[in-house]
Every structure is written in C-alpha cells, then in structure tokens.
Chains A and B, each alone.
Chain A
Amino acid sequence: MDIYGTWPWYVSGPLIALIMFLLLMMGKRFGMSSNLRTLCTICGAGKKHSFFDIDWKDYRWNLVVALGVLIGGFVASNYLTKENTVVLEENVSEKLQGLGFESVNQNYLPEELFGAEAMSDPFVIVILIIAGLLIGFGSRYAGGCTSGHAISGLSALQLPSLIAVIGFFIGGLVMVHLIFPLIF
C-alpha cells in the first residue's frame, strides 16, 4: 500500500473500528455530531432552550477529539498526500461532468462547490448553507450521524441505528438522484 495514495477500504475500515474501540476503552463513545450541540451550549443556547442546558465540560473530551480530527486533516493533506485528487470510475465521472462538475478527477472536492471562484456565486453559498442546516438538524433529530449510528450503533446491534442508517440512505439517494438533476 502506498501511504501517500488512497488508503483502501480494508485498511481504513478496520482502523475506524480501532478508533471506536480506543474510545470505548477510554470510557467514551464514538460520535462526532454531538460536538455541534456542545458548541451551541458554549455559544449560550442553554439560556434559551433546555436541550442545550448541559454542562459543556462533560463533553469537552469530544471537542478535543474533534480538534484532533481537524489537525489530522491538516497533517494528512499536507504531509501524507502527494496529489489531493480523488479518481472515480469512468461512468461516475461522466455522470458528474454531465451535471456540470468539470473538476471531477482533478481535486479532492469539486471546484464548482468549494473552489475560490464558486464563493462569489450566491447560489453556491445558499446550497452550502442549506446542506449544513440539514446536516445539523438531521443528525440531532436522529440522535447521531455516521459515526454514532452507522459505525457505533450498528456495531452495538442497535435497531434504532439501522433505522437511522436507512434514513441516511433514503435522504442521500433522493438528493443525488432526484434533486441534483434539478439544481445542477
């Protein structure tokens, strides 16, 4: 395996299980989206709504994990990667080009949504805002995101997590197959 290239699933998947195991051994559970709630509390949301009336110090450990994840992103992109490009199969690439994503196979994220030029397009800004609102609202409504439900919850054989993951896929499939052709 070339450490500077794409890490294959049979390396990445087991490493994610190891991370979940390490957090359990630290006496905590794996879940990234609850940090968004803690950040609401830190911003003073607890005074307005009881949902945020928690002692944020109880969740400080998870903010430290999140800070680590951020540093990990910096380290991986700057020191463990030669070219920040994601290469997709030909049929998906063509489909994306058909939608107007010309930057496919040239970047880690599409220029059309995250490039410097796209930031002067109000339509793109609105798309990113809506996406964020859906992620924050949905993950808290469902009580977790990919790490909390798809990894941690399914690993603990929790039926609620399976229902949530089915929901994630319904939402994702609707977005990509029904809404993308309308907006891109």
Chain B
Amino acid sequence: MRAFWYLIIGVFFGIVLFKSEAASWFRIYEMFNFASFHMYGIIGAAVVLGVIVTQSIKRFGLKSFYGAEIKIDTKEKSISRYLIGGIFFGLGWGLAGACPGPLFVLMGAGYFPIIIVFVSAIAGTFLYGKLKDHLPH
C-alpha cells in the first residue's frame, strides 16, 4: 500500500515538473541568463514554503502518517565537496538542461535521446563511487 502512495507522489511530481516547464532545456538556459523570474519563482516559492513546513515539523514535533518521529537530517560539514561537486553538477545541468528529476520526466514524455543522458548519469555516479577516496571532501 505504501508503494502505491510513493507512486502517486511521484506521478504528481512528474506532472508538476513537466507542466511548470522546469524539465525544459529552454527554461534552464533562460534561468542561467537571469532572463525570467519563472524558475526562481518556482524554486523560491518551494523553499519559502519548505522552510515553514520543515520548521513547523521540528517545532511541533509532528509525527509521520505512520506515527514515527520525523527526522530532519543535518548534512555533514564541508565546503570543498559541496562546492566542487556542485560545480560539476551545475555544468551538467546547464548543458543537458535537466537535473535528475526531469531526466525521468522526459523519458516518460517520450524524448528518447534523454536516455543517453540518463545512462551516462548512472555511469557518472559509478565513476564517483570509484574515485571517491581520491577526491577532496
């Protein structure tokens, strides 16, 4: 039953990504040209509401649907891994015009050349796992 809800949440997310055009290469290009408020509005509105949601969960000790405590993880402190890793990711995001969520959206929408990007992204992840111990973190 839980799997059903995960699927529904995913479908909902996929529809929002496609319809907001956050999955469009053109919108990502536009964003990196600061040419429209659209993408900043999407991320900004999601973050502002997300902060309210997350802080409320913390403050009121909200329990999950299944009665468990909701843990908001704190991320490991570092600068280099987030900055360097982030720059690599940003280069790919700008070039492919898609981040991992939209890769799934676009495959579903029938843009099959995206499969090349998707398979390479899995290979890139593998490459990271292979080189992890030799990289600054």
A interface residues, Cβ below 8 angstroms from B = 3, 6-27, 29, 32-33, 35-37, 39-40, 43, 45, 48-49, 51-52, 60-62, 64-78, 80-81, 84, 86, 88-89, 91-92, 95-96, 104, 108-110, 113-115, 118-119, 125, 127-143, 145-147, 149-161, 163-177, 179-180
Contact = CB atoms under 8 A, between A and B. Distances in A.
Given A72-B12, A73-B14, A114-B111, A146 B124 contact: no
B85 A6 contact: no
Contacts of A156: 54, 72-74
**Which of B15, B44, B91, B94 has its CB near the most chain A CB atoms (within 10 A)?**
B91
A26 B19 contact: no
B61 interface: no
Given A25-B62, A75-B15, A160-B78, 11 more contacts: A13-B42, A26-B5, A33-B100, A65-B7, A68-B8, A70-B108, A135-B98, A136-B120, A137-B125, A169-B32, A170-B90
Interface of B: 2-3, 5-33, 35-47, 49-51, 53-55, 57, 62, 64-66, 68, 70, 72-79, 81-101, 103-111, 113-114, 116-130, 132, 135
Contact of A158 (B37, B75, B126): B75
B100 A32 contact: yes
Q: Is the interface of B mostly helix, strand, loop or mixed?
A: helix
Contacts of A180: 94
A145 B24 contact: no
A65 to B, nearest CB: 4
B77 A138 contact: no
B18 to A, nearest CB: 4
A62 B26 CA distance: 27
B47 A133 contact: no
A12 B21 CA distance: 10
A184 to B, nearest CB: 10
Contacts of A18: 49
From B8, B49, B65, name the one whose CB has the most chain A CB atoms within 10 angstroms: B49
Given A86-B24, A132-B120, A160-B77, A69 B17 contact: yes
A69 B125 CA distance: 20
Nearest to A113: B25
A114 B10 contact: no
B20 A141 contact: no
